[in-house]
Amino acid sequence: MSTQDTLARLAAVIESRKPAAGGDPEASYVARLLHKGPDAFLKKIGEEATEVVMAAKDAEHGGPREKIVAEMADLWFHGMVALAHYGLTAADVVAELARREGLSGIEEKALRKVREREASEATPKGTDA
C-alpha cells in the first residue's frame, strides 16, 4: 500500500465529512472542524505544530521518538482538513514537492521571491487585483 493511496483515502473521508456532502458536526470531528470554519482547524494546526516541536525537543533528551511520528500524523491530518476546505488535496502538495525535487532549498526560495516580485509588479498600483 502506497503513501499516496493512504493520503488519497484519508482525503476522500475528509471530503465526505464536508458540510456540503452532508457531514454531521454532531457525529464527525472533521465535520465539526469544517463547520466551525478556518479559525478552528487553523488553531489546531498551530497546536499540532507546537506539539511536533515539543516531541522533537523531548526526543533530543531521551524522549520517545515515536511521539514525533504521532504528533506529525496529527499535524498532517489537520493540514489535510485545511487543504480540503480550500479545495486542495495532499496530491497537490505532493505535486509541489515533486516540482521542487532537484532544486536546492536556496534556489527554490530565490525563485519564489522572483515570482512574488514579478507578480507584485504586474499588479497595477491602487488596485486589489
Q: Are the C-beta atoms of 42 and 82 separated by less than 8 Å?
A: yes
Q: ∠108-110-114 over CA atoms, to 5°?
A: 115
Rounded Cα distance, 17 and 85, in Å: 11
| CA-to-CA dists, residue 29 to 78, 113, 125, angstroms | 11, 38, 44
Mean pLDDT by 10 residues, the chain (129 residues): 85 95 95 96 98 98 97 98 96 90 77 83 69
Task: State the pTM of this model.
Answer: 0.79
C-alpha cell, 33: 472542524
* Digit-coded pLDDT (tens) for 56-84: 999 999 999 999 999 999 999 999 999 99
Residue 33 pLDDT: 96
What crossing angle do the helices spanning 66-85 and 38-60 adopt, rounded to 10°?
160
Residue 102 pLDDT: 84
The HSE-up count of residue 129 (CA atoms within 13 Å, CB side) is: 8
Rounded Cα distance, 115 and 87, in Å: 23
